[in-house]
Amino acid sequence: MLSKGSVAIDLGTVNTLVWVEGRGLVLEEPSAIAIDDAAGSVTAIGAAADALADKEPKGIRVIHPLRDGVIADLDATAEMLHGFLRRSGALTGPFKRRAVVCVPGGATWVERRSVVAAFGARRPRCVVELIDEPVAAAAGAGFELTAGAGGFVVDVGGGTTEVGAVAGWRVVRAESLRMAGNAMDEAIISAARSGLGMILGQRAARQLKTELGLTGGPDGWAEAVGLDAARRTPRTEKVPGDLVAGALEPVVSAIGACVQNVLSDIPAGLAEDVVRGQVRLCGGGALLPGLADRLAERAGIGVLVAEDPLRCVVRGAAALLAAGGAPGVPAR
């Protein structure tokens, strides 16, 4: 039975989203925490912490505690989660409640247990269930999993790309590629340094990715601000679209190969559902200009960008809660 105040959480490398039963989506913040090393205390979480990243304020350490979709710093993740849940009002009301948390389909047993431990560190009586991201993304992308329907989803997040064929709240075939939005950002940063002699921050790289993508944007270039690599002084540059597209190509090719691998392995009985429903593209990477067309070429079937792709996973986890205990991975 769904307890009042139950929560669904998309604990992502870049962003964390929290949905509370009866209230809907209540929090969407960067997965970041800022620590004052001298005082040993948390100074900021979420957007306020992320805004300090790459700026190196004295005595402040900004941590992004998830890497490639899984927890890299357990203590920082526990503190960050506690702050998010407190801010969203999810810590008030009944002491015992249920939480559904999304994890990459390829997460190991140890990585899955670390997610549960991050909750147990501050909420020992919270009943935690884990759900594979391809399943949550498919539900959030509109596939009727409760009715036993199948579908195919590509969720391009910050740290991982989840590619999966699912049916009836279960994974049928899936691959988790630890190469996604962050890898794209790093590729753009590297290309700008080698091709333009310019050092970009991650925020600037993300902006170029969003504006130019694989298509080059409407003007074939976009303006970016960074540091001149030789002089180490601020510099504004018109970054050409082909430089960004070229930088993105290896990551996009890897995602395309992953999609092709999973599609080639689906059972014949699922093929009709997949063709009828088409491939649904979710996550922040779904907004990359030109990605849907590129994947459609590789897959040989239609690729649709899901409605509200950034929130597909948390919406799917919320649907699991509403279903009153559809098959997940109970952890506590």
**Residue 2, pLDDT score:** 43
Relative to beta strand 127-132, strand 98-103 is: parallel
In the predicted structure, residue 95 carries a pLDDT above the cut 90 = no
DSSP state of 244: H
**Neighbour-count burial for 266-282, b at 16+ CB within 10 Å, e otherwise:** beeebeebbeebebbbb
CA 136, CA 170: separation in Å to the nearest integer? 10
Torsion angle (degrees, nearest 10) of CA 180, 12, 322, 175 = 30
Mean pLDDT of 186-214: 97
pLDDT > 80? residue 16: yes
Q: pLDDT category, 98, cuts 50, 70, 90?
A: confident
Lowest mean pLDDT among 2-6, 64-68, 83-87, 209-213: 2-6
What's the pTM value of the predicted model, to 2 decimals?
0.91
Secondary structure letter of residue 203 according to DSSP: H
The Cα 312–Cα 134 span in angstroms is 10
Residue 110 scores a pLDDT above 70: yes
pLDDT tens digits for range 215-251: 999 999 999 999 999 999 999 999 999 999 999 999 9
Q: How far is CA 242 from CA 19, 220, 248, 291, in A?
A: 39, 8, 10, 15
Chain center to CA of 111? 16
Please state the rounded mean pLDDT for residues 197-224: 95
* 309 compared with 113, residue with greater pLDDT: 309
Between residues 330 and 198, the one the model is more confident about: 198
What share of the chain in percent tops pLDDT 70? 92
* Spatial separation of the C-alpha atoms in residues 332 and 126, rounded to whole Å: 8
Q: What is the mean pLDDT of residues 314-319?
A: 94
- Per-residue pLDDT, 145: 86
36 pLDDT exceeds 80? yes
Q: Please, what is the Cα angle at 25 between 132 and 73, to 5 degrees?
A: 55
* pLDDT > 90? residue 1: no
Residue 115 CB: number of other CB atoms within 10 A? Answer: 25
* 3-state class (DSSP) for residue 148: coil
Grade residue 4 by pLDDT with cuts at 50, 70 and 90. low
Nearest-angstrom CA–CA distance, 156 and 108: 19
Task: Enumerate residues 6+ apart whose C-beta is below 8 A from 222.
Answer: 207, 208, 211, 212, 238, 239, 241, 244
- CB under 8 Å to 33, separation ≥6 — which residues? 42, 44, 45, 49, 62, 63, 65, 76, 79, 80, 83
The per-residue pLDDT for 92 is: 61
Please, what is the average pLDDT of the chain? 90
Confidence class of residue 43 from pLDDT cuts 50, 70 and 90?
Answer: very high
At residue 155, the pLDDT reads 97
Percent of the chain at pLDDT above 90?
A: 72
